[in-house]
Structure 1
Amino acid sequence: MSLRPALAFLCCLLPLLAGALPAQAQTLADVGRAIVPVRDWGGTPVDAARARKQVVTHITLHHQGEPFAPGTDPRQYLRNLQAWSRTTQGWLDIPYHYIIDLDGRIYAGRDIAYAGDTNTEYDPTGHALIEVVGNFEEVEPNQRQLDAIVDLMALLADRYHVGLDGIRTHRDYSSRTVCPGANLYRYVQEGYFRHHVALRLAREHALLDEQQR
């Protein structure tokens, strides 16, 4: 389903949403401003001369695939991931454009203007790649992570005009992986993210309408 029919279907909810919104409800612009930039976690710029440019047409969910213990420093994890991506893999940068930690904080990874990388057979050009820390074959995502995924997907869908049917996962494009893990994959398979992204976008319209009054 494209964004336009979904939003048209939800437009009847706008008065209800507007009436239920807190005075300081977060807009998608707020979500974007809260994303931790590369410089703030200690990352270094990419060699743009080696980059493959892209136009975003898909939103694709990944998981870390390894345990991420409470108390782990996400900034150190990102520095290690950047170093491994470049040195061991020979990639331009971290393969993902955004990373979500255990607290639902969103970090910028690879510049979204450049295509990501993968060890599997699909071509990630055109995909906005989101990684959530943890191994979701073994653990469940927490609510803060789920909420952050919805906010980020809604931001990307709105910014790049990606339809709800463009929200998928790594395993939807590759037969060589179980990523993003069964416990996170079911939220895509059962429509949780598409449903909540549509609601989040309808809420955004309500927020903007309320601010303009």
Structure 2
Amino acid sequence: MFPWLLLALSVCVRPSTGLPPRHVDSVVQIVEALESTDHGFTGTVPELARALGGCSTPGCRAVLGEPPDVPPAPPTLSREQWLLFTQLLHHDAAAPERGAVLAPDGSTVALGPLLAGIEVGLKRATGWPVPTAEPPVDALYAVTIAEALGTSFLLARGGDGNRAALGPGGCWDDVDDPQNYTLLGPPSPIPDAIANGAMDGVLLGARLARAPIPLADLLRDYYGTGNGTEKGRPPSSYRRRDFGVLTGPEKLEREVAAMLRVLRVLPPTRELLEDVGPEEVAAIARQAARDFTEVYVECPAIVPRCMWGARPYRGTPKLLTLPLGSVYIHHTFIPSTPCRTFAACAHAMRSMQRFHQDTRGWDDIGYSFVVGSDGYLYQGRGWHWVGAHTKGYNSKGYGVGYVGDFSATLPDPDIIALVRDGLLPCAVRTGRLHRNYTLRGHRQMGRTDCPGNSLFREIETWHGFK
């Protein structure tokens, strides 16, 4: 009914295009080339992105104005680079997955909301007057998340319960040469890539408003492109934490409600909201802010099996009966060194799965979830399949294993918190774990030193330990 609302990534696989990889590194190279010299476009790179369709929704046009005309191909870009950039920013309802790129930390980011937030930040740094939208909106949130979030929950209301308002995630065909992105479930207007791009757009837009720097340098630093990830975790791996600090649920709720009221008076969206009263607008905004915060701020990101290169499960997996009553904490021991990058953690997951399947003879990697020191959880058996982590208790609880040997040392504090303050409360809120769950170390359930003396002493202080 409203084609512009179809912001989700489609499940569509195409043959190799010969274009540069759909990776943040490719975007940084394009931006650097555009910033290096006069490229025949009088605006900024984000304005060029908007000319190509990167922010073409009614709300974005109301805030930032009509997009500039599309310029000729800049001479500083190769034909392939220009074609890739055009595809990434051109909003095509039939193939919107073209707007997503893979970041070095293993997350997937939609370029449209990212560059829209950056444009607002750059404008604010130059004294841009506040947009005259009525009611007033925060432009940074309006062009990144508020419009998409409000319309997603507006469309999902009053349905049969099968229409998702958030998610899902997806996987790339090849993490070394990403070209095609495939969703892992029915699309919504805010799949994970849109959520990540929106959060990054808010964070980087706010940063640029304080201290403008060249866009290529900003992206390179934030995503850790090139050799950046060798120096530790890139800032993008902290996006959920940082967005939560900057944006509380109350702020998000206010901006979603304000944007819905703006959409009510815009001709393209007036019909969509004509039967929605003020109280329902407030209720939609409240639910949207609450659900988004739970899914993308309070719950940690989990890297799906297809992203770390899992082999298929052997045989037929057995379903768990949820909610479970227990959690068992492990360390992998081997690999003994914590993994601190997506590439290293994915390699560790494949190595453990080969050992568990080929040497132990198990159907799959044994753990339910594995904890990397890159700031991400990795899906093993996941939420629904019986694992092979704690003999005699696999159907009674989740097995969560930290990558590394933690006999004498501890994981980093934020990696400890990833499970203690992130995964476990999230599992309770989503009905996968009983509120009065029991937490134990592997050694309490069998003859083993796992999860190491240091980590065991740590988990003795956690909620639910017995």
- Is the TM value for this pair above 0.5? yes
The aligned residue for residue 105 of structure 1 is 376
Q: Contact conserved, 1:169 with 1:180, CA < 8 A, in 2?
A: yes
Q: In 1, distance between residues paired with 2:404 and 2:459?
A: 17
Query: Could you say what secondary structure the match of 1:183 adopts?
Result: helix
1:123 aligns with 2:393: yes
Structure 1 unaligned runs (5+)?
A: 1-19, 196-213
Task: Tell me which of 408, 412, 424 is aligned to 1:138.
Answer: 408
C-alpha displacement of 1:157: 2.4
The aligned residue for residue 442 of structure 2 is 170
The aligned residue for residue 61 of structure 1 is 329
Query: Could you say what secondary structure the match of 2:303 adopts?
Result: coil
Q: 1:121 to 1:69 in 2, by over 3 A?
A: closer
The aligned residue for residue 149 of structure 1 is 419
Q: Contact conserved, 1:59 with 1:156, CA < 8 A, in 2?
A: no
Query: Could you say what secondary structure the match of 1:103 adopts?
Result: coil
Q: In 1, distance between residues paired with 2:327 and 2:339?
A: 27
Provide the alpha-carbon RMSD of the alignment: 2.7
The aligned residue for residue 184 of structure 1 is 455
Letter matched to residue 131 of structure 1: G
Identity %: 24
Structure 2 unaligned runs (5+)?
A: 1-243, 250-291
C-alpha displacement of 1:70: 5.7
Letter matched to residue 412 of structure 2: N
C-alpha displacement of 1:165: 4.3
Q: In 2, distance between residues paired with 1:27 and 1:48?
A: 37
Q: 1:41 to 1:140 in 2, by over 3 A?
A: same
Q: 1:129 to 1:27 in 2, by over 3 A?
A: farther
Q: In 2, distance between residues paired with 1:113 and 1:42?
A: 19
Q: 1:70 to 1:38 in 2, by over 3 A?
A: closer
Letter matched to residue 405 of structure 2: N
C-alpha displacement of 1:111: 3.3
Q: Contact conserved, 1:100 with 1:131, CA < 8 A, in 2?
A: yes
The aligned residue for residue 357 of structure 2 is 86
Q: 1:121 to 1:75 in 2, by over 3 A?
A: closer
CA-to-partner distance for each residue in 1:5-52, whole Å, 9 max, x for gaps?
xxxxxxxxxxxxxxx964157844125572110101111331352x23
Q: In 1, distance between residues paired with 2:404 and 2:454?
A: 11
Letter matched to residue 413 of structure 2: Q
Q: Contact conserved, 2:331 with 2:402, CA < 8 A, in 1?
A: yes
C-alpha displacement of 1:101: 0.9
Give the structure-2-normalised TM-score: 0.34
CA-to-partner distance for each residue in 1:97-140, whole Å, 9 max, x for gaps?
1111112211111133221114x653321211111111111222
Q: 1:69 to 1:146 in 2, by over 3 A?
A: closer
Letter matched to residue 439 of structure 2: I
Query: Could you say what secondary structure the match of 2:434 adopts?
Result: coil
Query: Could you say what secondary structure the match of 1:144 adopts?
Result: helix
Greater relative CO (CA pairs within 8 A, separation 6+): 1
For the pair shown, which has the larger CA radius of gyration, 1 or 2? 2
Q: 1:32 to 1:122 in 2, by over 3 A?
A: same
Q: 1:130 to 1:24 in 2, by over 3 A?
A: same
Give the structure-1-normalised TM-score: 0.70
Letter matched to residue 329 of structure 2: L
Task: Tell me which of 305, 311, 316 is aligned to 1:38.
Answer: 305
Q: In 2, distance between residues paired with 1:32 and 1:184?
A: 22
Tell me the matched-pair count.
172
C-alpha displacement of 1:180: 1.0
